[in-house]
Structure 1
Amino acid sequence: MSQDRFERGLDKRRRVLGADYVDQSMRNADAFTRPLQQLVTEYCWGEVWQREGLSDRDRSMINLAMITALNRPHELRLHVRGAINNGLGVDEIREILLQTAVYCGVPAAIDAFRQAREVLTEMGEI
């Protein structure tokens, strides 16, 4: 593991998803799950999210669409928060989810809207 890449990843992950969530994930990691937390932090957040080709805002838009397509509600909730933290507005999030209805299927989009509405309400965005 590259300690520098891990630390950069941890910083980016905290900025996007929120320090409380990330720190809790790291604290809750045990001998079984710690390698996954390290992998995600180092390679996802410390390598790919650090690249200059896309902004964090762009990456958030792509993630919302992909996570909707994969029907991963827990991850969608995290990345709705991340999208807001990266500067997306409620209207933009809605448009991304509407786009997924056409290309990923209406059932996936319905679940994504449900999760997004709950998060945006909790955050005081709607």
Structure 2
Amino acid sequence: MSAADANPSLFDRGLATRREVLGRAHVERSMAGVSGFSRPVQELVTEFCWGAVWTRDGLDRRTRSLINLGMLTALGRDHELAVHVRAAVTNGCTVAEIREALLQTTVYCGVPAATHAFRIAERVLRELDELADEPAGDGTAER
């Protein structure tokens, strides 16, 4: 399956949405780095995930981002969690909303998964300069 074989309207809408949410550079790196073997999965993800689901009217992008943070925490998908913390900021989620979404995962996913997700999110938010006004902490909360 190639982009030409995929549903062109869903693929094109998905590619546009994917670029808007994840950033053009990230998507271009992802698409350029695929092999002939993995190209079909990238096209499938672009068409169905980004074209058929992310473009639906039922939820706004901020809500979809917060849901993704919870699911990726539950699944322990660190790389994707970092990508979607960036996407959440792009989609207008505040640091407080991201923190609350991750705090919710503590109850439903468990403390180890949530504290790990907090570490990933904090690293990404610091890289994005979203935590510039918050102190780094003195380590006293570590247990």
**TM-score normalised per structure 2:** 0.87
List gaps (5 residues or longer) in structure 1: none
Higher helix share: 1
Q: Which residue of 2 aligns with 1:115?
A: 120
Number of aligned residue pairs: give it: 126
Over 3 Å off, 4+ runs? none
**CA distance in 1 between partners of 2:22 and 2:116 (Å):** 20
Q: RMSD in angstroms over aligned alpha carbons?
A: 0.6
Correspondence for 1:9 among 14, 20, 45: 14
**CA distance in 2 between partners of 1:18 and 1:63 (Å):** 17
The reply on whether 1:21 has 2:26 as its aligned counterpart is yes
**CA distance in 1 between partners of 2:8 and 2:39 (Å):** 15
**CA distance in 1 between partners of 2:23 and 2:124 (Å):** 13
AA matched with 2:85:
V
Identity of aligned residues (%): 58
* Mapping of residues 97-116 of structure 1, within 5 Å: 97-116=102-121
AA matched with 2:72:
I
Deviations 1:41-75 (A, max 9, x none): 00000000111110011100100001101011000
**CA distance in 2 between partners of 1:33 and 1:124 (Å):** 34
Structure (1 or 2) with the larger CA radius of gyration: 2
Structure number with the bigger relative contact order (C-alpha 8 A, sep ≥ 6) is 1
List gaps (5 residues or longer) in structure 2: 1-5, 132-143
**CA distance in 1 between partners of 2:77 and 2:86 (Å):** 15
